[in-house]
Chain A
Amino acid sequence: MGRIHVRTRINGEATEFLCDPRQTLLDALRDELQLTGTKEGCTTGDCGACSVTLDGLLVCSCLVLAAETEGHDVGTIEGMAQGETLHPLQQKFLEHAALQCGVCTPGFLVAAKALLDREPDPSEKQVRYALAGNLCRCTGYDKIIRAVLDAAAELRGDTR
């Protein structure tokens, strides 16, 4: 089977790649573009480790075909920090010790950013439900939820 030429934008940058028609976006990111920050935990959309945004919408990249991204915007963990400056979510994850092994962390950060982009002042319950598609086996979620709430407050400019 011939390979497909795909033109897309990844983290704001015009990107072209070749992929197999059956190849998922997850595999294309990792294997064709060497963007290995997006992790594979299950390939069935159950763990959220491969979370990316497609035109700003949170998706599991294991459930998107790479060819489907033609003409669309993809956002991955590699695009979250601005130069040398971490995104407040990234900084708060570090300050709250919200990661242990760290393999689920990119997915949580992408999913949390997608939440805060549409809901800047979420309740604890909203955060828990928004992140219910991301599995973490190390932390029991406590410090992740606190980090997201703290980052949301900082992004809003709250000093409370």
Chain B
Amino acid sequence: MATVVFSSGLQRYTGGVERVNVDATDVRGLIAALDTRFPGIGQVIGSGMAVAIDGEIIPDAMLEAVPPDGEVHFLPPIGGGAGGDRGRTAQRT
């Protein structure tokens, strides 16, 4: 089972829970499973955040595979966009 680690900002959606184990094969399934457990969190992490799997930050990660013992973090999107901008973490200059 993959481990999901929630930052303090996300813990208000999990009732203070920092880590959970989730059985999912891809990010989409993982978010659906989390939303079942913490209703409402799917909207937050599914549309406005980037995903890091085992240390690699992945933009547009919905279809990304989640390894069975993977560690997953949800991050605010880094890109210059804000205020509901979503998705990409990749940066520029």
Touch between A and B in complex, CB under 8 Å?
A: no
Give me the interface of A with B, judged by CB distance under 8 Å: none
